[in-house]
Structures are given as structure tokens and as C-alpha cells.
């Protein structure tokens, strides 16, 4: 999950997890997680137990390693997902040309990269162009510096879609057109991408809670046959991607 | 027997001891000899007989009870029940450590009966849902809109407490720890206070609806997990104590169901889990 701070990365991840807690994803069954406490911590400020009067998501600290784990069963296919939910400051470093070993190490192992476009900022004339510009810079840095492997697939997610919808047709069109353009540029740069709309919460009657989350999950769980790397323990056929070691030794 | 605080373990144990020792429920297991802390058993049994809330396992104690089980007149096995204080289990969620003797019990257990209380489920209710329930959808939209727009100032919030997570999260975490130590341990589930789960015909159905990730976790790792709805008290104390006390035979208060048949045999979850025949 990549994007500047406040772009909705953590809220998106927490919403995905909450969807399992409430049994809302019939396409996949929960099989396990080694980071249950980490998921829960991210959900805390949106829970009654926090004592908060409005749902919120805590800001991810720069020190948080940000790895969240889910084992899922899609019908009969076991899938292990490892999410990197880093503080936006890591990505702001990359946008400013500052080396960031932690973020780079994770990007170097990413099967999928989700570029989060902050829908709330797309509503405002003053913020919207800067928001698009930041993502444009981030994806250019990732592609030109080869921060992600050749097999990485992208998705440009317009987060907080309920707020975009509430802002009217102009904001909606601006968001759709610019996200599509960003996805096209990303694809041209070597990170094939498409656009997704997501809303972790619902503030618009036409936008359901967890809009787009199940579809994103399916996309992330799908492993193109071209990867062709089996999850088997075989000392001769060594995995070529570091994350596959997690599968072998997990 | 494993379960977090208020999950119904102590009441189950009191009723189980009553049935094993009196033998007045046809088909139930019978008590051979007993070892361990009899004072604890005596206290919780007397409370159960008096239709009073049972004395919960003290925080300091790990009560170990050992039963010899009888099949007919033959000894068929020994049941060792470390009734670990639920508070100690809750603490492990925060510290990620638990007592060494408990760890030994977990590693050597051939079967584990996990307890969840149908009347005491922490759902982890989301603020957004609570607002909708209490103030109506329209107001909820307005409030959330306002928050999302200009970051409405919010009053102080409570710190994250890993010892009070949603019930299903804590139980799944516990089962993951068990399976990491003894992957072949048989698991059974007791849904206690079953008398309050009126709207669900089967324990499995209740679990799938109310604790979906626990249900899905078991469905993948242990699909044959036996599940029982158990009302060891028969009703809510003290509200229904008078009615319960009027029942001539105390074991008739007990209700046990697997979703297809119901009876008063509180030893049934153990029999099924351990593969023992009806007596």
C-alpha cells in the first residue's frame, strides 16, 4: 500500500480485515493471521471501545514495520497475503529523492503495489492537482529506479470515494479521468495498472461501506500463471522472489 | 477446557462434576476417582446447586482437576482439566507469554474444549455502526461527513488494550498458539449460555453468524470440530434462580445440544471429543 500520509492506506487495510470479522467476504474464508494484534490496533480508533465519537484511524508511525498478514482460502485455493502498511513519510522520502531502505526493501518484494489517491483531497481545487502530482512522481520514481520487480502489478485506488461522490460530478469526473491517466502512465512505465474505487466507510447513500474492498482482495489474491513459482519445499528449485521464502519457511 | 474470562468454564465444570458424581443422567460418563483441588470443585458445585453465580477461578490459581472416567464399571480414561484463570489467558494477549506449566499442558493435551459465551460476546462494535444504531442513518452520515471533511476535533480516546479484543479474535489467536504447539490436538467448541442464543437453531450456525473468523478458521483447519450449545445453569442467575431451584432434579436444568438432538448430558461434549461411547 503506497501513498502519502493521510491517503487512506491504513483505513483501507483495516476495512479489509473488518470485512472478515463481520463475515462480509463470501469469496474467501479466513484461515489465519500472525498479526491479529496489529490488525486490531489499526481498527481501534474506529471502534466503540476507543471511546471516540467519530470513526478514525490512527496515523501510522514511521517506526512501525507495517507488515500485516492474512492467510485466506479462496474456495479451495490457499493464499497467503502479506500487506505492507507503512507510514506515508516513507513514500514522501522516495518522492523527494531521499533513499529509504525500509520502503525500498519492501517494494523490491512486492507482487502488487496499490497507489492510494486521497479522494478527500480531490474534492478541493487547491489540493487536487498536487494530489495527482504526488502519485505521478511516486510511480515515476518506482519505475525509473526499478524499485519494484518486473512482475509487480499495480492498482490506482481512489480512496474515500464516498467523499468524492458527495462533492459532485465535477470532482468525480476529475478523479476518474486523472486516475485513469495515472494508470496509463504507470503501465507505459512498466508497472501495469488499472483504476479501482474504494470507500472503507460510508458517508454517501449510493456508496456502500467497504466499496471495492472485496474486488481489491480478489485482485491481490490472483497469481498470474506467468509467475509460475510453486510453493514447494525443494532445495534445488530455490524461490527467486524473497517473499516466497516466507511461504516456504512460514 | 480453555476460554477467556466469563466464557462459562467454571459453571460447566460444576455441572459436569454433578452429573459425573451422581450418575443421574442416562448415558453420561461416570466418575471414578478424583484428584486435584476438591475444595474448588466443592465450592463451585455448591453454588451451582444453590442456583447462585459460581465462584470464578481466582487470578492466582491454575486449578487442576483430574477425573478418572468410567465406561460402565471399567476405567476408560483420565480427564485432566487445567482450569486456568481466564484473566491469565487474557494477559497473554498483551505480553505474549503464558505460564510454563500451562504450556506443558497445552503441548501434551490430546483434546481441547474451547468455551465461548453466547451471552457475553465482545463484537468489537464499530463506531460508525453504533452511531447508525443509536442516532439513525441520516445523522450518522452528517457526523461522518463532518469528520472526514475538516477533521472534526475529537475528544480524548482510550488507549488500545490488547487484552480486550473481540472474542473471535482472541479465541482464534489462542487456537493458533495451540496448533503451533500441538497441531493434531482435537478441538471441540462449547457455546455456553446457550439459553440466550434463541435465534440460532444450531451451534455451528450461531458460530458462523456471530464469530465468522473463528468458524472459518475451524472450517479450514479442523472441519470435523464438534460444537455444542450448553446451558449448564439452565437460566440466568439470579433472575431465574427461583424457577431453577424449583426443578426437582438439578441435572434437569442442564441443556446440551449439537443442533440435532438435545439432552441433559453435559459429559457429551467430552464423550464425542474423546471418541467415547455412550454409557
B/e letters for B241-275, b = 16+ CB within 10 Å, e = fewer, are beebeeeeebbebbbbbbeeeeebbbbbbbbbbbe
Residue written as grid cell 518484494: A109
Are A51 and B158 within 8 A, CB to CB?
A: yes
**Among partner residues B125, B156, B216, which is closest to A30 by beta-carbon distance?**
B216
Per DSSP, what are the bridge partners of residue A86?
none
A20 Cβ under 8 Å from any chain B Cβ: yes
Report the first-to-last Cα separation within chain B, whole angstroms.
22
pLDDT digits (tens, 9 = 90+) for B16-42: 999 998 989 998 988 888 877 788 888
Parallel, antiparallel or unpaired: strands B186-192 and B111-117 = parallel
Which one of B153, B156, B157 makes the best mutation probe of the A interface by having the most chain A beta carbons within 10 Å? B157
Assess contact for B67 and B267: CB atoms under 8 A.
no
Q: Collapsing DSSP states into helix, strand and coil, what is residue B25?
A: coil
pLDDT digits (tens, 9 = 90+) for B146-203: 444 444 445 678 899 998 899 999 999 999 999 999 888 999 999 999 999 877 889 9
How far is residue A55's CA from residue A66's CA, in Å, rounded to a whole number?
21
Give the distance, in angstroms, between the CA of residue B230 and the centroid of all CA atoms in the same chain.
9
Nearest alpha-carbon partner for A33 in A60, A73, A2: A73
Peptide bond into B123 cis (omega under 30): no
Q: Collapsing DSSP states into helix, strand and coil, what is residue B190?
A: strand
pLDDT digits (tens, 9 = 90+) for A179-229: 999 999 999 999 999 999 999 988 899 999 999 999 999 999 876 544 544
- Residue B84 has phi, psi (to 5 degrees) of -65, 135
What is the DSSP track for B184-228? T-EEEEEEE-GGG-TT-SSHHHHHHHHSHHHHHHHHHH-TT--EE
Nearest C-alpha of chain B: how many angstroms from A55? Answer: 6
Give pLDDT, residue A60.
81
C-alpha cell at B172: 482464534
A43 Cβ under 8 Å from any chain B Cβ: yes
Instruction: Give the pLDDT band (50/70/90) at residue B279.
Output: low
Give the chain B residue whose CA is nearest to the CA of A23.
B212
Which one of B141, B152, B160 makes the best mutation probe of the A interface by having the most chain A beta carbons within 10 Å? B160
CB < 8 Å to A37, chain B: 93, 162, 165, 173
Q: Collapsing DSSP states into helix, strand and coil, what is residue A1?
A: coil
CB < 8 Å to A120, chain B: 148-149
Assess contact for A3 and A115: CB atoms under 8 A.
yes
Report the first-to-last Cα separation within chain A, whole angstroms.
22
CB < 8 Å to A73, chain B: 216, 220
Assess contact for A94 and A141: CB atoms under 8 A.
yes
The complex scores an ipTM of: 0.87
Give pLDDT, residue A249.
40
Span B122-129, mean pLDDT? 87
Are B216 and A160 within 8 A, CB to CB?
A: no
Nearest C-alpha of chain B: how many angstroms from A24? Answer: 9
Which one of B220, B221, B223 makes the best mutation probe of the A interface by having the most chain A beta carbons within 10 Å? B220
Number of residues that make up chain A: 250
Whole-Å CA distances, B165 to A55, A86, A133, A210 = 17, 23, 40, 22
Please, what sign has the CA dihedral across residues B70, B71, B76, B79?
Answer: negative
Average pLDDT, chain B: 83
> Which residues between 96 and 125 in chain A have a beta carbon less than 8 angstroms from any beta carbon of chain B?
120
pLDDT digits (tens, 9 = 90+) for B228-250: 999 998 888 777 777 878 888 99
Sheet holding A193-197, edge to edge: A112-117, A153-158, A193-197
Residue written as grid cell 454409557: B279
Nearest C-alpha of chain A: how many angstroms from B13? Answer: 30
Please, what sign has the CA dihedral across residues A127, A133, A138, A139?
Answer: positive
DSSP state of B124: -
Exposure of A131 in the CB half-sphere (CA atoms within 13 A): 27
Nearest alpha-carbon partner for A84 in A67, A69, A71: A67
Are A36 and B173 within 8 A, CB to CB?
A: yes
Span B87-102, mean pLDDT? 80
Phi-psi region of A3 (alpha: psi -120 to 50; beta: other; left: phi over 0): left
Whole-Å CA distances, B276 to B27, B77, B105, B183 = 11, 9, 21, 22
**Per-residue pLDDT of chain A in tens (250 residues, 90 and over written 9):** 999 999 999 999 999 999 999 999 988 999 999 999 999 999 999 898 888 888 888 888 777 778 999 999 998 789 999 999 999 999 999 999 999 998 999 999 899 999 999 999 999 999 999 999 999 999 999 999 999 999 899 999 999 999 999 999 999 999 999 999 999 999 999 999 999 999 998 889 999 999 999 999 999 987 654 454 444 444 545 555 545 544 444 3
Q: Flag the least confident range among A170-184, B70-84, B94-108.
A: B70-84
Are A163 and B148 within 8 A, CB to CB?
A: yes
- Give chain B's count of helices (H) and strands (E): 11, 8
Give pLDDT, residue B101.
82
A151 Cβ under 8 Å from any chain B Cβ: no
DSSP state of A47: B
pTM for the whole structure: 0.88
How far is residue B121's CA from residue B124's CA, in Å, rounded to a whole number?
9
Instruction: Give the pLDDT band (50/70/90) at residue B67.
Output: confident
CB < 8 Å to B221, chain A: 31-32
- Residue A106 has phi, psi (to 5 degrees) of -75, -40
CB < 8 Å to B155, chain A: 51-53
CB < 8 Å to B148, chain A: 120, 160, 163, 201, 203
Nearest C-alpha of chain A: how many angstroms from B79? Answer: 30
Sheet holding B227-231, edge to edge: B111-117, B186-192, B227-231, B255-257, B262-263
Nearest C-alpha of chain B: how many angstroms from A22? Answer: 7
Give pLDDT, residue A230.
45
Amino acid at each position: 500500500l503506497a501513498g502519502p500520509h493521510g491517503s487512506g492506506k491504513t483505513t483501507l487495510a483495516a476495512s479489509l480485515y473488518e470485512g472478515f470479522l463481520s463475515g462480509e467476504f463470501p469469496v474467501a474464508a479466513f484461515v489465519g493471521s500472525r498479526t491479529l494484534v496489529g490488525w486490531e490496533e489499526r481498527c481501534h480508533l474506529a471502534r466503540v471501545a476507543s471511546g471516540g465519537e467519530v470513526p478514525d484511524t490512527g496515523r501510522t508511525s514511521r517506526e512501525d514495520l507495517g507488515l500485516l498478514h492474512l492467510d485466506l482460502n479462496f474456495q479451495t485455493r490457499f493464499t497467503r497475503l502479506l500487506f505492507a502498511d507503512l507510514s506515508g513519510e516513507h513514500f514522501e522520502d522516495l518522492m523527494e529523492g531521499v533513499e529509504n531502505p525500509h520502503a525500498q526493501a519492501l517494494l523490491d518484494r512486492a507482487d502488487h503495489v496499490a497507489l492510494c489517491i486521497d479522494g478527500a483531497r480531490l474534492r478541493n481545487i487547491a489540493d487536487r492537482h498536487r494530489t495527482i502530482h504526488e502519485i505521478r512522481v511516486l510511480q515515476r520514481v518506482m519505475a525509473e529506479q526499478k524499485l519494484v520487480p518486473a512482475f509487480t502489478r499495480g492498482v490506482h485506488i481512489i480512496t474515500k470515494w464516498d467523499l468524492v461522490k458527495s462533492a459532485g460530478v465535477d470532482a468525480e469526473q476529475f478523479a476518474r479521468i486523472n486516475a485513469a491517466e495515472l494508470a496509463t502512465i504507470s503501465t507505459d512505465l512498466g508497472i501495469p495498472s488499472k483504476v479501482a474505487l474504494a470507500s472503507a466507510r460510508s458517508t454517501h447513500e449510493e456508496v456502500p461501506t467497504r466499496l471495492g474492498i472485496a474486488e481489491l482482495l480478489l485482485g491481490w489474491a490472483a497469481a498470474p500463471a506467468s509467475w509460475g513459482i510453486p510453493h514447494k519445499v525443494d532445495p534445488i528449485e530455490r524461490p527467486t522472489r524473497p517473499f516466497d521464502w516466507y511461504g516456504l519457511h512460514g | 477446557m480453555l476460554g477467556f474470562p466469563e466464557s462459562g468454564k467454571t459453571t460447566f465444570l460444576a455441572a459436569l462434576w454433578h452429573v459425573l458424581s451422581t450418575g443421574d443422567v442416562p448415558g453420561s460418563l461416570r466418575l471414578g476417582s478424583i484428584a486435584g483441588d476438591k475444595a474448588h470443585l466443592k465450592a463451585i458445585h455448591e453454588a451451582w446447586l444453590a442456583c447462585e453465580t459460581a465462584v470464578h477461578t481466582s487470578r492466582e490459581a491454575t486449578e487442576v482437576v483430574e477425573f478418572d472416567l468410567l465406561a460402565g464399571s471399567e476405567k476408560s480414561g483420565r480427564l485432566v482439566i487445567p482450569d486456568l484463570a481466564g484473566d491469565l489467558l487474557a494477559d497473554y494477549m498483551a505480553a505474549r507469554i503464558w505460564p510454563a506449566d500451562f504450556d506443558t499442558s497445552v503441548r501434551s493435551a490430546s483434546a481441547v474444549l474451547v468455551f465461548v459465551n453466547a451471552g457475553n460476546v465482545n463484537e468489537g462494535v464499530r463506531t460508525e455502526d453504533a452511531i447508525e444504531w443509536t442516532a439513525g442513518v441520516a445523522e450518522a452520515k452528517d457526523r461522518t461527513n463532518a469528520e472526514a471533511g475538516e477533521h472534526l476535533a475529537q475528544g480524548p480516546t482510550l488507549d488500545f488494550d490488547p487484552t480486550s479484543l473481540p472474542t473471535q479474535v482472541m479465541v482464534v489467536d489462542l487456537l493458533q498458539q495451540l496448533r503451533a504447539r500441538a497441531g493434531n490436538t482435537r478441538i471441540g467448541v462449547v457455546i455456553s449460555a446457550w439459553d440466550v442464543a434463541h435465534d440460532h437453531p444450531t451451534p455451528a450456525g450461531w458460530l458462523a453468524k456471530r464469530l465468522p473468523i473463528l468458524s472459518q478458521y475451524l472450517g479450514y483447519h479442523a472441519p470435523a470440530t464438534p460444537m455444542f450449545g450448553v446451558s449448564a445453569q439452565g437460566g440466568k442467575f439470579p433472575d431465574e434462580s427461583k424457577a431453577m431451584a424449583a426443578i426437582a432434579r438439578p441435572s434437569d436444568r442442564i441443556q446440551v445440544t449439537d443442533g440435532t438432538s438435545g439432552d441433559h448430558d453435559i459429559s457429551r461434549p467430552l464423550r464425542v471429543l474423546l471418541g467415547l461411547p455412550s454409557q
